[in-house]
Structure 1
């Protein structure tokens, strides 16, 4: 059985983060019917903000941009989701999903804290990769977990852990400032969705997964604190 579908093939070249670069990206997307309007609108808003700031065509825009990584694990799997958090003109905040990973828990039983720590280590690896791949000037990243055990592992520098834990703790410490590793309640942790799985219906309707928790759209004073 054959079906009719619309597809888009977009090849983006590395461009500077200025009006020339953003305009090139917008103009390179051929979408006469406007199917990609919700996506291209973000780039057009950014271009508009550059114009409002009266930046020259070759002047790069400086915005506060940082990566937020969320990690979580369950008995069935563990997952990580990463977001780019941009504070633009007039402190307007944009937050969008960049990449996600979900893996099935190993058949050999292991503890939830160890799975949580494994997810946290994957988040650290993703952070390093994204910083290499993204052609952006990024502020220090923030790591979020709903596991107080993971946070205790990271903040306890006096204990010598077993090899499994020690390797992952050192990987995370080498990636993040420990004070940038923060607690989030499971109910608003988008990585919880990645670790447990979603039906396609809920997936398509999940604003939490695609845009991140609502607190990221507010000032840092509204972010969750340690319990």
Structure 2
């Protein structure tokens, strides 16, 4: 994708590099890039902006432009349709749109194979069940998001604070589906800071026990399956959509540095100004999904926790509840 985007002549001098052919006596030559280069911090932005600008200039349908602007990140497109006919139409129009700019969309994947019937086989993805998109693993056969076990997890090793942070960061969960599990590692990291443990010091015995238990649970990550579709009903059939937010706090999460207090106070005032008093309710612990996040939860319990995944049952009752 990058090599399809040219650099302006006046910008090419800042993309110079040295090249020497094999052999010690070969002269060193100076070249400069004429296309967007790999490894530059600005390259992802340039690629995204060029594709978006091309869509705005050439797109004739607002919804088509919106797909490119909002559903595309660098060279990944993640979008959805209500039926296979709409999907086939979208595939054709998006392919034509980017092709007119010198690009091509490859490795198409869908939960409905009929949506890709009009595409040549070389433009479709392979037959693998797990498909990685935007860092998330998607099982297109079951239409679920899932997780994989980080490689090279050593259960018997006495880790350091650095190794704890490194492994915890490899559980990629941008949606927060595993927050009750991943926050347990963050709380251990916080405890290490409070004790003054250096980066390359071995974990204290009591924390090491809890950390080993956390690592042992990583084998269960593939058993966590999250429905990819947030709404299982087509949007035009929905009569009302509500957003309910649950909150909770513990001492480890609630204590704040004095410098943060004005910031938090200002945000609280902003939130209160955007809501009405009658919209706030006390939620008992037994009905509060956020309680799992603040207390932490083992993966096997989290997998079966209906309160965490679906919220309290009374959400489906009348608004007066």
- How does the TM-score come out when normalised to structure 1? 0.40
- How does the TM-score come out when normalised to structure 2? 0.30
* Structure having greater relative contact order (Cα 8 Å, sep ≥ 6): 1
Higher strand share: 1
